[in-house]
Amino acid sequence: MRNPILPGFHADPSICRKGDDYYLAVSSFEWFPGIPIYHSRDLKHWELLTHGITDDREADLLKLPSAKGIWAPCLTWCEQEGLFYLTYSVMHSMNARYFDVDNFVKTAPEITGPWSETVYLHSAGFDASMFHDTDGRKYVVALDWETRETYEKPGAICLMEYDPRQKKVVGPMKRIYTGGTERGCIEGPHLTKRGDWYYLMCAEGGTGYAHAVTMARSASVWGPYEPDPQNPIVTSVPGDFNERQDWDHLKPRYFNAVSYLQKSGHGSYVDTPLGETYLVHLCARPFRPELRCTLGRETAMQKMTWTGDGWLRMADGGNLARAEFEPSRLPEVCWPEPPVQDDFDGPALARCYYAPRWAPERFATLADGALYLRGQESLCSLNKTSLLARKLTSVETTVTTRMQFCPTSFHHSAGLVLYYDNMDYAYLELYREEEGCPAMLRVRRLQNGVRTESAGVVVPEQPLYLRLTVLGRSTQFSWSADGQEYRLVGPVLDTSEFSDEYCQYGEFTGAFVGLACEDSLLHQASAKFDFFRYEAHPENDEAYFL
């Protein structure tokens, strides 16, 4: 099998098993619906099955800066109760290194719901996860973020007991672990139990080029925890180094030129009935030499094994994250391939569509075999925008749509977008300078908040075909009147600039492609889209990242 198993923005994976079914949840940050959940029966083929948060009233993300929002979900199955537990953090602010965050949990008998009311846990740190002990007791483990000047940053892993009957944490909070390496930036804890040992899996090194998966164990859930002598157990940069005093998560100096996967860390493991163990972890694939990861942090998988003395190891005996791994022996169960073209003729939007900060249904409507977007604020807004997008999963991708739109004011625009965050995007927009002037197309580019616009091109007053072509480092927009002959518009764009490493306002996510409509006058102008065609070739990506 080839990594990543989930290309594009799929960070902080958490995996669990219920019977013959495997479920994998990932972070969503400012995007709705929140917490994508994937399903597999063979650990080879994955389908986007559902989302953990579909009501934007449950997690109010409006006005939150990019990279805030829903962080690091933990998805677990409690066999004793017959319930899924979904634990997650909502990050509100990181100003002055005060991480203002709330942690929540909710439950459901089936992965598709219905989910219970959300229960507040605590606000001490982030990356909260739930552990179900064999005696029926439950515990919440998280990173307790340190704000005191004279204490080691970024903090320590903390533990609190959770009472499911009272639906709240009970008893004192205890700091139980500060790391199994000297890499620092500990986070992403998951507690499990195997035999008589409690295992604490963490991420260390920062979610950048020094990232790693580490392990520790204890005879008591409260510790003390003994670090694995081979830590880290999975990483993109093996070796020992002390970075406890450097709180910067990115650390590009630890880029490993011989590794296809970078930033490997933040892991979660699952056992199969065949005695196999597989670990999922985030990773990234940068353009070189700039080290810019346009596709964001992705999800990879490694085959693992347990040693005779009870430690978890990669199956090959090393700890360097592998681009290829031995697949499970579980019988294959394939899912239908998603259609390349969405004709918007279904009763609801496909699961692959997202919107920043609020639910797509707030502005997107399906009717008469078409999609209608009601214009909202500018794409620079942190509030209500009309952007319907899907994750870019390959840097060899062509996106095409057919749009009908009649702008009557300079307040109106609609078109096709390559989007990283509200301050970094490229927008092929149909607009009109003044009433009575011809309709025109141009490319609006936001680069770290600096706006530029290409020269306008006069186009006929009719439905237009719009296209975005991503070919490795180069991205180009074009348009057509008949869907056959396309004309280029705007400059050739540098694909690598739509990335964590280039963007100054957002981080942690990945590039999206989508459809947009703006109406900063009355929020009423509507654009009609007849289809959305997404042609990706992830099998060719390796050539661009080596």
* 56, 127, 187, 243: the active-site residue: 187
User: Which residue is catalytic, options 12, 298, 424, 500?
Assistant: 12
Nearest Cα to 18, choosing from 92, 99, 87, 76? 76
- Tell me the HSE value of 460 on the side-chain side, using a 13 A CA sphere: 8
> Is the bond leading into 189 cis (omega within 30 degrees of zero)?
no
CA distances from 69 to 27, 56, 72, 135 (A): 9, 11, 10, 34
Q: How far apart are CA 34 and CA 360, in angstroms?
A: 11
CA dihedral 412, 414, 418, 420 (to 10 degrees): 40
E strand intervals along 328-391: 341-342, 355-356, 364-367, 370-374, 387-391
Q: Is 80 exposed, middle or buried (0-12, 13-18, 19+ CB in 10 A)?
A: exposed
Phi-psi region of 30 (alpha: psi -120 to 50; beta: other; left: phi over 0): alpha
Torsion over CA of 411, 446, 466 and 54, rounded to 10 degrees? -80
Between the CA of residue 408 and those of 280, 411, 413, what are the distances in Å?
Answer: 50, 8, 9
Q: Is the peptide bond before 154 cis (omega within 30 degrees of 0)?
A: yes
Residue pair 515/373 in contact by the 8 Å Cβ criterion: yes
* 276 in catalytic set: no
Whole-angstrom Cα distance, residue 220 to residue 338? 46
Annotated active-site residue 12? The verdict is yes
Contact (Cβ atoms closer than 8 angstroms) between residue 467 and residue 416? yes
Contact 348/28 with Cβ under 8 angstroms? no
**What is the bridge-based pairing of β-strands 424-431 and 138-145?**
unpaired
* Contact (Cβ atoms closer than 8 angstroms) between residue 400 and residue 467: yes
User: How far is CA 433 from each of CA 341, 409, 440, 489, rounded to the nearest angstrom?
Assistant: 33, 7, 8, 18
Looking at this protein, which amino acid is placed at residue 93?
S
Say how far apart CA 256 and CA 252 lie, in whole Å: 9
Catalytic residue annotation: 12, 187
